[in-house]
Amino acid sequence: MKRIAVVAAALVFVTALIAAMLELGAPAIDLRAPVAAHQAQSGVSHSVTAVLLNYRSYDTLLEIAVLLLALLAILAVVGDAPVSPPRAAHPVLQTLARLATPLMVVVAVYLLWAGAFRPGGAFQAGAVLAAAAVLLHLVGLAPGWSRPRLRLRLGLVAGFVVFLVMAAALLPQGALLQYPRAMAGGLILLIEGGLTLSLALILAGLFLFLSRDEAAS
């Protein structure tokens, strides 16, 4: 009965959400024209990247902070559980995972590079790298994660720290994360590189820190 009640509640929620979205009117403000008009000053040629890392970069800063806090909350809950040896999957699955992982790394690098002028960027690249780590774990080629060591901690906070340092360094410009026009592209690429590393580790950690706890229980 509990399962039926949960499924029914989920269906009601999804139905209400769909109905609310269908009733949405036209946006009161159309920002496409202002974004396009200032595209050349953003340092990138893709409007989404310009919004996320230039016009509204503080939103992205808070997003990475929320993800980092979520991982810290998980670590606080699960504590220090021993890491059990990963269960080896079928050799065919392991071979496919070994073949897929380098391709996933290449895709992640491409997404990071392409984010300046087409869909892509740090969040997509980090998600692909995290998926590669989770894939290796699921086929028994990589263990779950125990307490994060120093290098892992540095990697987890690297993107957030780079973002904060950049924000502090640019405060004399008169606004938070207002890049100098001549340096905007390079600074955004630097931030995206740090974010890719941190997001990959955070997203992978959300799974791998819990998986080690499940394996030990």
Task: Name the one residue in this structure whose structure tokens are 């491409």.
Answer: 110
Identify the pLDDT of residue 213.
42
How many domains does the structure of the chain reveal? 1
Q: How far apart are CA 54 and CA 214, in angstroms?
A: 41
Exposure letters 9-30 (e unless 16+ CB within 10 A, then b): eeeeeeeeeeeeeeeeeeeeee
pLDDT value, residue 50: 72
Dump pLDDT digits (tens) for 80-136: 666 666 677 788 989 999 999 999 999 999 998 887 677 678 889 999 999 999 999
Which pTM was predicted? Answer: 0.73
pLDDT tens sequence across 11-36: 999 999 898 888 877 766 766 777 77
The residues near 173 (Cβ < 8 Å, ≥ 6 apart) are 179, 180
Q: Give residue 174's domain range.
A: 2-216
3-class DSSP assignment, residue 107 = helix
